[in-house]
Amino acid sequence: MPKDGAARRILPQVQVLLGLISVATGKYEEAATAFQHALKLAPSNAQALVELGRAYAKLQKAPEAEAAFKKAIALQPDYWLGYSRLARFYWLQSRHREAEAGVPKCARADP
């Protein structure tokens, strides 16, 4: 049995996994809730923020999605997935110049 500290570190990842499963099955509200739980446990979890942004985008909550992606990037500027998801979000919003501007940032984060 893990010690209390170890259990707390595992729980946010379990919530992220539950959220990913919910996204994969099209349950975006459930996914957003799981990612929000992960962020309550670990507010600086960039993966949870990126995936929360993706869930918000699927729920047509563009301002919330963009804010989540940007916060993930601010928290972990070397995490390529944040830039990639933000660029894709911009592309799907027909904000092509902003999408194109994000591609080099993604490449620098993960050469």
9 token code pair: 């570190």
Structural contact between residues 69 and 82, judged by C-beta atoms closer than 8 angstroms = yes
- Through-space distance between the first and last CA atoms of the chain, rounded to whole angstroms: 39
> How many domains in the chain?
1
CATH of the domain at 74: 1.25.40.10
Alpha helices in the chain (DSSP H): 4-24, 28-41, 46-58, 62-75, 80-92, 96-109
- Mean pLDDT, rounded, of the chain: 86
Query: How is residue 60 annotated by DSSP?
Result: T
Question: Can you give the residue range of the structural domain that contains 31?
Answer: 4-109
* pLDDT interval class at 8 (50, 70, 90): very low
pLDDT in tens, 29-59: 999 999 999 999 999 999 999 999 999 999 9
Lowest mean pLDDT among 47-51, 58-62, 88-92, 103-107: 103-107
